[in-house]
Structure 1
């Protein structure tokens, strides 16, 4: 049976998969970036939980990461469209179907990545803070 952490990360990946961009989880950057863009979800770090007693609960602010990448002659507009689509998808249900207490994306810092012999990539790392509670650090 999957842990709450895995259920939340799977739900986040499913939400990203509904976007026009190709959404991967934990993969390496492929040689070609699809025309609609590429998203790679990284599991990130759960961090140190706040612990409450009676009943014992672990409250996490898990920092997952989404790598967003676009390529093409109109990459600035494509990048903006992709980032806005991610925001809209996350705002549609900030609890990922009740699996999470709250989902909070942070603003991306974009960078242009030159590719020898090809059009440069525009990419950003978007941290998504997942607030959730478990009954144990391995639960």
Structure 2
């Protein structure tokens, strides 16, 4: 398994551990949003973009800042403010990342961007608030394909 895929799998594991009751889907840019939101909330993780690497030539080393998009979707509830719930979910993921910012040695560092809450249309045509942010995983490999 390539280093990139190992990092993506580790990111998914961190999110699953931070939010064990949520449905975690994704890791493909071609995947549409889920056709339904789980009653326990749905987290969508995408492959993202490793970007152009910085390169050291001797020995060859490729340094990536891989941007991994994450979408948080929650169902409306009369008892819970959706913005607050999205913020809590994002905070749990942030705490999971902060507890191991090196992904057990897979990354030189991992960080997150700020949470953005946007309106989105969910199946059925209803408007829904969705939280979006990116996880930035910085890592190095000996091959641009590794």
Q: Structure 1-normalised TM-score?
A: 0.89
- The answer to whether residue 64 in structure 2 is matched with residue 56 in structure 1 is no
Q: Which runs of 5+ in 1 are unaligned?
A: none
DSSP 3-state at the match of 1:44 = coil
Residue 9 (1) aligns with residue 13 (2): no
Alignment of 1:66-105 (within 5 A): 66-73=70-77, 74=80, 75-105=82-112
- Under a length normalisation based on structure 2, what TM-score does the superposition of the two structures give? 0.85
2:11 aligned counterpart, secondary structure: helix
Q: State the number of aligned residues.
A: 138
Cα RMSD of the aligned pairs, angstroms, is 1.9
CA contact (8 A) 1:72 1:120 kept: no
Q: Following TM superposition, where does structure 1 have runs of at least 4 consecutive aligned residues deviating by more than 6 angstroms? A: 116-119
Structure 2 segments unaligned to the other structure (5+ residues): none
CA contact (8 A) 1:40 1:66 kept: yes
**Which of the two has greater strand per residue?**
1
